[in-house]
Structure 1
């Protein structure tokens, strides 16, 4: 007769990584988010570099100091957004590497699997909510 404590049995059968099928599902999700993120980044950089302009900015009157200040502030904000977007892209690219290494979805603090729901919302996550809460 097989008498094993149910708590011990659940620990023994607890998954240590996601299956190849699950990893493929996450890879598709990440690739689609990555494509959108790269497109948004390119749009931001195009705006910052003024590549979408037809070249008439330097002919506008220079007495519009308030407008110029607003333009500077907008460019600074856009620059910050572009930096955040670039960090997001790098996070997604790192997640793809973890998928290839079959370490995707494993919390780097606890070693437990990060719930699928969290990974669907934050596909580049490397910490479970439990680990994030411990850091606070």
Structure 2
């Protein structure tokens, strides 16, 4: 059983693929984090303003736009975030964020979020997808 390292933390997840959203929820299930999930940019723009938000996981390409505006707002608020995307690179306000390539091994997002919250800053790009592991 995983130790609840994110106990009491509030994590926003913005992902438009329902299966990936479910995988993220399962990965974080035993962490003790409160997960708020949405599949649209429009709804995410409202959720990003909530007080107490500890971190965010963002898909870059959403059905109603890309997450650049979310990256900007999270950065302004000092909330750590990462990009979880199938795109090899992302630009704009998201270019300096931690980037984990889809699909990633179970637990990779949890470990990355733990690191972001502990450090309070975004980390360099890393691609943990199976296609790039040796």
TM-score, normalised on structure 1?
Answer: 0.23
Q: Which structure is larger by alpha-carbon Rg, 1 or 2?
A: 1
Larger relative contact order (C-alpha < 8 A, sep ≥ 6)?
Answer: 1
**Alignment TM-score, normalising by the size of structure 2:** 0.24
Q: Which has the higher helix share?
A: 1
